[in-house]
Amino acid sequence: MKFATAGFFSTLLVSVSCRAIQRRADAAYPADFKPNFSHQNSVTINQPLSVVWPVLGTNEGLGKWILLESIASNFSTQTLDTVNVNGNLEDAVHLAPAAQGGQGFPRQAFTFTETVKIIPGLSFTDIPVQLTGTFTWDATRNVSLYETTNGSGILVKKVRTFSESNGVTTVSEQINGQCPFLEQPIVQLTTTSAHNQQMALYPTLFQ
C-alpha cells in the first residue's frame, strides 16, 4: 500500500475496480463511514504462504512494505494490543477498544509520514502529512486489515487476503475509503496508481 494531492498517496495504499463496501452493522464501525473510493489488486509471489504471511500478514514486515512507497518515511510502531470483533476481521476495528486479557486479534498501531509533492522537483513545495493507523491480523483465516487516517477527512481501510497453490502465494487487497466529496476524483485516481505501484514491489521483499 503512494498517493496524490500526494498526502493522499500512501493512505491509499493499502485493493482497478470500484465497488461499494459490504459491511455488517458492527458497533466497531464508525457510524459515519461511507466509502466513496475503492480499488482492488493482487500480486503473485513465488514463495509459499509460510514465508509470505509473516512479512505481509503480521506486524513483522509492516514497516518494510509501508516504506516501499517513495513518499513514505519516519515509520514508527506504537502500541501493540488486541481487539475483539463481532464477526470477521473484514469489519472495521479502528475505533474498537483494546480487548482485556490479551483476547482477540493482535493489533499493531503505527505512524509514518507521507511527503506530498505539490510540484515534483521543487522540494520547497513539499508538504509532510502525518498518518496514524493500525494493522490487525487473523492468522487462522490468513486475513489482515490495514487502516489509516491523515486527520483531514481521509480514512483508508485495506483488507489483505492470502491463498497458496503449488508453493506460490497470491496476495489480494481491497481498499475502501472515505474522503471529502471534492477530493474524490483525485483520490480515486491516485489510489489506483499508487496501489498498483506498491503491490508490484511486494515480491522484492522476498529476494
On whether residue 18 sits in a domain, the answer given is: no
Q: Is residue 59 part of a domain?
A: yes
| Residue 5 resides in a domain | no
pLDDT of residue 71: 77
| Higher pLDDT, residue 150 or 171 | 171
Low-confidence winner among 11-20, 56-65, 72-81 (lowest mean pLDDT): 11-20
CA atoms within 13 A on the CB side of 75: 17
pLDDT tens per residue, range 16-68: 333 333 333 334 445 678 899 999 999 999 999 999 999 999 999 999 999 99
The enclosing domain of 182 has a CATH number of 3.30.530.20
Q: Which residue has the higher pLDDT, 82 or 85?
A: 82
pLDDT of 10 above 60: no
What does the pLDDT look like over 83-134, one tens digit per residue? 888 788 887 656 677 887 777 899 999 999 877 666 666 666 677 788 999 9
Q: How large is the average pLDDT for residues 154-183?
A: 94
Provide the pLDDT for residue 18: 33
Give the structural domain span for 148: 37-206
- 6 lies in some domain: no
How far is residue 194 from each of residues 10, 111, 183, measured CA to CA in Å?
Answer: 7, 19, 16
Query: Do the domain assignments include residue 11?
Result: no
- The answer as to whether 197 is a domain residue is yes
pTM for the predicted model, two decimal places: 0.81
Tell me what pLDDT residue 100 has.
79
**Cα distances (Å, whole numbers) of residue 189 to 2, 12, 77, 159, 179:** 11, 10, 29, 19, 13
Q: Tell me how many domains the chain contains.
A: 1
- Decide if 81 is inside a domain: yes
Give the strands of the sheet with 37-45, arranged side by side.
37-45, 168-178, 155-165, 143-149, 127-138, 105-116, 72-83
C-alpha cell at 35: 466509502
Instruction: Read off φ and ψ for residue 149, nearest 5 degrees.
Output: -140, 150
Indicate if the alpha-carbon torsion angle 49, 54, 56, 57 is positive or negative. Answer: positive
Whether residue 24 is contained in a domain is answered as no
Give the Cα-Cα-Cα angle 187, 27, 77 (nearest 5 degrees). Answer: 60
